[in-house]
Amino acid sequence: MNYVIVYWSHYGNGKKLVEHLAATLKAKGADTQVLRTDEANPASLPPADAYVFSAPAEAMNLQVNMRSFMKKLNGMAGKKYGIINTHGMKKNRLAKMEKLLSKKDMVKLAEIDFLVGDGTQTGNGLPTGWEAAMNCFADKLIT
């Protein structure tokens, strides 16, 4: 299996999540490529069996870089995906991510969100047990 993970992270929580996910998938024999939104071209992402998109909520919406990136995705009909959202509010932005990707006719495999807390601005705001939750998310991606 081959995975492309595209993320945006402001304080580092999202980066921790995707790095853990990439290592977990590699340990299961998968090839992974991790790209920030500013390193990837939404019109021509590398080929993959599945794509993972990770971004925080920001100003009561999905983070603007990822929102723009998803709107510009091209040629993704029928492609599989997983989504990750971090947020400091009680409401995640998974539905917004799913809506944007469903407009591209993509097929969802898995989703996960994390309510971040103390330490958010230092990249240490993930809840206890986040590694195990990410391992379960990885299992859902491997089909």
Q: Which CATH superfamily is domain 2-141 in?
A: Flavodoxin domain (3.40.50.360)
> Two tokens at 13?
């929580």
Beta-strand ranges (E) seen in 18-65 are: 31-36, 50-58, 61-62
Give just the sign of the alpha carbon dihedral 97, 101, 102, 103.
positive
Domain boundaries, the chain: 2-141
Burial class (CB in 10 A: 0-12, 13-18, 19+), 52: buried
Is a pLDDT exceeding 90 seen at residue 59?
A: no
Tens of pLDDT, residues 108-143: 999 999 999 876 666 678 999 999 999 999 999 996
121 and 92 in contact (C-beta within 8 Å)? no
